[in-house]
Amino acid sequence: MSAGRYAPSPSGDLHVGNLRTALLAWLWARHSGREFLIRVEDLDRVRAGAEQRQLDDLRALGLDWDGPPVRQSERLGLYDAAIARLQDEDRVYECFCTRREILEAPTAPHHPPGAYPGTCRDLTEAQRAERRTERPAALRLRSEAATFRVEDEIHGTYEGAVDDFVLRRGDGVPAYNLAVVVDDADQGVDQVVRGDDLLASAPRQAYLATLLGASPPTYVHVPLALNASGQRLAKRDGAVTFTELREAGVDVFALIVESLGLTGASPGGLLKSFDPAQLPTQPWVVEPPVSSGR
């Protein structure tokens, strides 16, 4: 199976920027003859009722998907199996560092600030045993690459840093970078359309995919929606969710379509003339009343 996907986290209602990315993911998948999947990334920050409201808003926008939505919380066995495979290959080690310790540690010249400096990479068994008495261990990938290249349909060839990133947090929850790679490989997702704030994560994820025997997907990192101050759009910027905008008399679908320079009254209508090469490559600045306070 060849598929694209949209994977929201049910931490709250989707705002108009999220919905715009969802529409683009749908268009890119359908335009390329792929199935379109919905995956609920509910390993963290779940708010009661948010998942259903998100799915309702996607339907109200006119989107459909193939098969029922998949929830990460129901796929823990897959993540455990992937970690076990990496452990068998000696690609995993325990890490006891706090966030503050990582931020305050010296960083290698080729890594960005905050990248893991390898503090726990070569601890002895005695040192690990001692640290286990202090706090639970996270599991990190023992990376053999400093950087990795990915291909993006908007940004072209992108090379980014690959450090020893977390596979499982100290509280036992699988980390995002692991879960998303395992899910995409398992579901046949070979096209990932998402916001360009995640472009820097793509090299880590593509590298991990190769270690797990999967081919990295084709990436499409689309411009974000920004508020009037040039910051990433958030719900604090006023009426930005589907329900809020509709209650304010805004045609949400038309608003998104206009921002993309497209014409059509439905996703199916847009698909007839969809040309990825003609899409805007700059962020969408959401104008009032969306970004106005209440």
**DSSP state letter for 93:** E
Is 45 exposed, middle or buried (CB count within 10 Å of its CB: 0-12, 13-18, 19+)?
A: exposed
Judge residue 231's burial from the number of C-beta atoms within 10 Å of its C-beta, 0-12 exposed, 13-18 middle, 19 or more buried: exposed
Q: Is 272 considered catalytic here?
A: no
User: What's the token pair of residue 247?
Assistant: 């209650």
User: Pick from 145, 147, 143: which is nearest to 157 by CA?
Assistant: 147
CB atoms within 10 A of CB 251: 12
| Residue in 59, 110, 132, 235 annotated catalytic | 235
Token readout for 256 is: 């998104």
CA dist 32 and 2 (Å) reads 10
The values of phi and psi at residue 74, to 5°, are -100, 10
State the residue for tokens 């993006």.
Answer: 152
Residue 190, amino acid = D
Dump strand ranges (E) for the chain.
3-6, 35-40, 70-71, 92-95, 138-141, 147-152, 156-161, 166-168, 189-195, 218-222, 225-226, 284-285
Query: What's the rounded Cα separation, in Å, for the pair 174 and 81?
Result: 11
Instruction: Specify whether the CB–CB gap between 259 and 253 falls below 8 A.
Output: no
Which positions are catalytic? 235
